[in-house]
Amino acid sequence: MTLETMPFSKALNAGLRKAMEDDPRVLMMGEDIGKLGGVFRITEHLQRDFGEKRVLDTPLAESGIVGTAIGLAMGGFRPVCEIQFDGFVFPAFDQITTQLAKITNRHEGAVSMPIVIRIPYGGHIGAVEHHQESPETYFAHTPGLRVVSPSTPNDAYWMIQEAIVSNDPIIFLEPKSKYWQKGEVDLELSAAPLHSSRVVRTGTDVTLVGHGAMVTTLLQAAALAESEGTSCEVIDVRSLSPVDYGPILDSVRKTGHMVYAQEAPSFNSLGGEIAATVMERAFYALEAPVLRVSGYDAPFPPAKLEGTFLPDADRILEAVDRSLAY
């Protein structure tokens, strides 16, 4: 085991570098990702070390970025596209959902689309409109796309590499508020397969489930609950499509209670889908309904109000108390 402590952003950079070293067909595309290294410096020094033909600064045209990547994938390359901020992905939405997601099926499996689309998403950075969205449901709802989101530096390092070697198109959601979080990265062994959920804290009373930046908040809530005598198990979903339900169902059958937390609004959300599935498949193990804690069903507010909009440990603990009160 070779462990190295690094921020989430550097773990992503190291993972991208390793993927480029391992396969000359891997190339990067995006706005300001070359000389600047991206607005979050995720691609820092990659153009310097691999050249302008493999790390391409593109025009400000998300539809053009994804459309070009589709053509490159058809030509045998493995493009990795960076969307600068979550709210900027929608000009490329048509390319992603009506072309990229469907081409392999359209050709009966004869044409693969090994494309990764990296999207920084979520709040907690005090940004302006279109810079703090949570668009995961749009993509998880689209057949033909795989959607993943790491929550730790170790997962960031391994999951980006595993996404790049996949022959399916993958939406790679990066919780931007975690870019500066430091953690240990095992440079020799992945913690879990790409499309798997993982128990990150064991407990016996309530199952807390979430993805991305919300995993940290769930762990904070679990620590506070423990001080009050309640044992919470925390599960990081990691893969939003497909969802690995095994660890979630095993935990719910043990605890009898579940709370799902997410930054996205509640209506028609990933949390709602997972809650419904758990209630279908583990109904007789549940001692209370699955509860959800989420952002509100409203546009993301100005930065000064994001603390009210985004779920925190107190809102999660309130849901834990309601679940145990049934």
- The answer to whether residues 20 and 96 belong to one domain is yes
- The answer to whether residues 169 and 52 belong to one domain is yes
Closest CA to 169 of 248, 223, 115: 115
Q: Is the pLDDT of residue 103 over 90?
A: yes
Can you state the percent helix, strand and coil of the chain, rounding each to 5? 40, 20, 40
> In this structure, what DSSP letter does residue 302 have?
P
Of the three residues 160, 186, 212, the one that is the final residue of a domain is 186
Residue 159 in domain: yes
pTM of the predicted protein model: 0.95
- The answer to whether residues 39 and 92 belong to one domain is yes
- The answer to whether residues 7 and 108 belong to one domain is yes
Instruction: Work out the average pLDDT over 108-135.
Output: 89
CATH number of the structural domain spanning residue 247? 3.40.50.920
- The answer to whether residues 43 and 119 belong to one domain is yes
Percent of the chain whose pLDDT exceeds 70? 100
Residue 192 in domain: no
Of the three residues 152, 186, 220, the one that is the final residue of a domain is 186
pLDDT tens digits, 150-190: 999 999 999 999 999 999 999 999 999 999 999 999 999 88
Closest CA to 62 of 36, 77, 82, 39: 82
- The answer to whether residues 233 and 167 belong to one domain is no
Q: Are 141 and 93 in contact (CB under 8 A)?
A: no
- The answer to whether residues 81 and 165 belong to one domain is yes
- The answer to whether residues 12 and 133 belong to one domain is yes
Of the three residues 186, 221, 245, the one that is the final residue of a domain is 186
pLDDT of residue 150: 97
Q: Are 55 and 47 in contact (CB under 8 A)?
A: yes
Count of structural domains within the chain: 2
- The answer to whether residues 165 and 310 belong to one domain is no
- The answer to whether residues 168 and 306 belong to one domain is no
Residue 56 in domain: yes
Count CA atoms closer than 13 A to 122's CA, side-chain side: 23
CATH number of the structural domain spanning residue 13? 3.40.50.970
pLDDT tens digits, 238-286: 999 999 999 999 999 999 999 999 999 999 999 999 999 999 999 999 9
Residues marked active site are found at 131
- The answer to whether residues 174 and 311 belong to one domain is no
Residue 226 in domain: yes
Centre a 10 Å sphere on the Cβ of residue 255 and count the other Cβ atoms it contains. 21
Residue 161 in domain: yes
Q: Is the pLDDT of residue 132 over 90?
A: no
Using 50, 70 and 90 to split pLDDT, how confident is the model at 62? Answer: very high
Residue 45 in domain: yes
- The answer to whether residues 151 and 212 belong to one domain is no
β-pairing, 258-265 with 206-210?
parallel
β-pairing, 170-175 with 232-236?
unpaired
**Which domain does 273 fall in, by range?**
198-325
Closest CA to 210 of 137, 125, 294, 305: 294
Residue 193 in domain: no
* Tokens read off for 239: 């893969």
pLDDT of residue 109: 93
pLDDT tens digits, 275-315: 999 999 999 999 999 999 999 998 888 888 888 889 999 99
Residue 235 in domain: yes
* Tokens read off for 293: 């804690």
